[in-house]
């Protein structure tokens, strides 16, 4: 079952045929029920739809497991209050400036950069997933040897290759193509 969708129309079209899908937890069919919308709040405190919840219904002795699952639009980052566009700005700025505080400030406008280091740690944790996703991962070179932190040389190389393969919207393209969260 896909987890990320390009548009809200594609998500609704998929939900109209949800009875044919298996529950990812119990593998039973004809038990998934669309439950509620998933929202994120913008800086102006307006709600925006970023996905839909599904529920494997155990009601009326149907045999469902009761697990809930979320389906997202491509621009949403599950578990994060920021959108994929802001993470893409962070990655692009980090590739050009090689500075976490500058990249985080450019992406979010925040002056405190602690979360930028957390984002970078999460990206570093997922480098093996990114390298697996590359069609032909090249051997690492020393073109990023002047980085502020030498331990992030592999991260810089991998993100550069991933950006070259997926294009400018690296986070959205990764989530849509591989059906995995970028984080």
For 27-57, write each residue's pLDDT tens digit. 888 888 898 899 988 766 788 889 999 988 8
Query: Contact, 70 vs 53, CB < 8 A?
Result: yes
> What pTM was estimated for this model as a whole?
0.83
Q: The tokens of 140 are what? A: 């690492």
DSSP, residue by residue, 16-69: HTGGGSBPTTT--BS-EEEEEEEEEE-TTS-EEEEEEEEEE--GGG------EE
Percentage above 70 pLDDT, the chain: 91
Query: Contact, 74 vs 176, CB < 8 A?
Result: yes
Phi and psi angles of residue 148, each rounded to the nearest 5 degrees, phi first: -60, -35
Could you tell me which residue, 89 or 59, shows the higher pLDDT? 89
**Does residue 87 register a pLDDT over 80?**
yes
Distance of CA 62 to CAs 35, 71, 77, Å? 16, 23, 32
Give the neighbor-by-neighbor strand order of the sheet with 47-56.
4-5, 68-73, 47-56, 32-41
Burial class (CB in 10 A: 0-12, 13-18, 19+), 170: buried
> For residue 151, what pLDDT is reported?
74
Half-sphere exposure of 30 (CA within 13 A, CB side): 2
Percentage above 90 pLDDT, the chain: 33
Q: The tokens of 177 are what? A: 């193509």
Query: Contact, 29 vs 65, CB < 8 A?
Result: no
**In the chain, where are the structural domains located?**
4-73, 84-178
């Amino acid at each position: 079952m896909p987890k990320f969708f390009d548009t809200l129309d594609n998500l609704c079209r998929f939900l109209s045929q949800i009875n044919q899908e298996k529950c990812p937890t119990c593998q039973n069919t004809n038990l998934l029920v669309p439950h509620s919308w998933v929202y994120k709040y913008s800086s102006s405190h307006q709600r925006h739809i970023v996905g839909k919840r599904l529920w494997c219904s155990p009601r009326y002795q149907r045999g469902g497991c009761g697990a809930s699952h979320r389906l997202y639009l491509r621009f949403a980052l599950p578990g994060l209050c920021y959108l994929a566009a802001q993470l893409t700005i962070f990655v692009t700025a980090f590739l050009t400036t090689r500075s976490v505080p500058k990249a985080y400030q450019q992406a979010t406008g925040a002056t405190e950069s602690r979360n930028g280091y957390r984002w970078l740690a999460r990206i570093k944790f997922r480098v093996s997933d990114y390298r697996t996703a590359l069609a032909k991962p090249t051997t690492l070179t020393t073109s990023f040897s002047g980085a502020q932190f030498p331990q992030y040389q592999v991260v810089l190389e991998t993100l550069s290759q991933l950006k070259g393969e997926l294009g400018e919207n690296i986070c959205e393209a990764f989530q849509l193509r591989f059906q995995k969260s970028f984080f």
